[in-house]
Amino acid sequence: MAKRRKEAETEETGQENPIRVAMIGAGGRATSAHYPSLKALKGVEMVAVSELSEQRMADAAERFGIPGQYSDYRQMIEKEKPDAVYAIMPPHHLYDIAATVMEAGCHLFIEKPPAMTTEQTRQMALIAQKHKVLTGVTFQRRFAPVIRHGKERCEKRGAVHSAVATFYKNAVGGAPYYRGAIDILTSDAIHAVDTLRYLCGGEVASVASDVRREGATHTNIYLALVKFSSGATGVLLTNWMTGRRIFSVEIHSPGISVFGDPEEGGRVFADNKDEPVEVLDPFRLGGSDDTWRAYGAYDINRHFIDCVRDGEQPETCFEDAVKTMELVDLIYQSQI
């Protein structure tokens, strides 16, 4: 099962023993990002899919060449004995399925947020530890080539001393997520929260925030100043009442700065020069015109599969996801 270490060659040369992956969920997010990423990875075999909608399941199986189709995911796991399971679904439907998968000894990869609450995420991490399985959460922004490369470029000059993570959307008059089952910060703007943690490093030391409702029945503006034990200061700007959708970052190290957007590209400035010393093209850095490669979905999936192959805990494992969820909580609890 999933607990055994795979003796295999590298992705570039192929592998003798493929990682067997079973999929739970065949909705839009799964089939637009995770399925094509796994299909593109050498040494991965998508052996089966389980989905409540028979039509979606059949379409995904045909499109991605998946032989097994199951209405019951537990039967799928028992029969197919996958090494890893992808459970891609809304967060309020996830917990029992995730727990069952891990108790069956399968490594598990899920979408963000990892759970409805921090305590649920912590309990999931404990289940993973008990059953010795590897886990991952799709915080793919930290794997987006523009952000990843930009941070590495800055750190060649020294530690990041300040960073900004911005996530804006135009949702004027919009309804709450999943009919109000979960808030925006935990469900979606958490991408920026996790990215800020990645950019600044260390542990959260203190938070000052402003959270409010603007023209809505639910909170839709989340602004925060976060001090990290690394010495870096992070600024979170998440707002669903703006003119358009933008996800962007600023990364600052001594004498160098990156202003980047994983979807639109970025620029590196250094030494007080007006012109950028490097222009970051997300598609060139991602090596493809496919958006799921340029935006980080391929890289985080590759990271998870590599970790399963090598028996190493992924960067965005449940234990790390607890820290992102805790920062979400602190943003609510630390309002000025």
Domain layout of the chain by residue ranges = 19-140, 141-287+317-333
Residue 2 has pLDDT above 80, yes or no: no
- Cα gap 180→216, rounded to integer Å: 12
- Cα gap 18→191, rounded to integer Å: 31
How confident is the model at residue 294, as a pLDDT? Answer: 86
Q: Residue 231 — pLDDT band, cuts 50, 70, 90?
A: very high
Residue entry with tokens 């980080």: 296
Q: Residue 81 — pLDDT band, cuts 50, 70, 90?
A: very high
Residue 156 has pLDDT above 60, yes or no: yes
CA angle 260, 114, 305 (to 5 degrees): 75
Residue 15 has pLDDT above 60, yes or no: no
Instruction: Report if pTM > 0.85.
Output: yes
The CATH code for residues 141-287+317-333 is 3.30.360.10
How confident is the model at residue 326, as a pLDDT? Answer: 98
Residue 48 has pLDDT above 70, yes or no: yes
- Where do the DSSP E strands lie in the chain? 19-24, 44-50, 68-70, 84-87, 107-110, 135-137, 162-170, 204-212, 221-228, 233-239, 241-253, 256-261, 265-270, 278-280
How confident is the model at residue 12, as a pLDDT? Answer: 43
Residues 282-315: tens digit of each pLDDT: 999 999 988 888 889 999 999 999 999 999 999 9
Average pLDDT over residues 50-67: 97
Which residues does 84 contact at the CB level (< 8 Å), separation at least 6?
Answer: 2, 19, 20, 21, 22, 106, 107, 108, 109, 134, 304, 305, 308
Is the alpha carbon torsion for 313, 283, 237, 91 positive or negative? negative
Give the pair of three-digit tokens for residue 312.
């190493």
| CATH fold label, 19-140 | Rossmann fold (3.40.50)
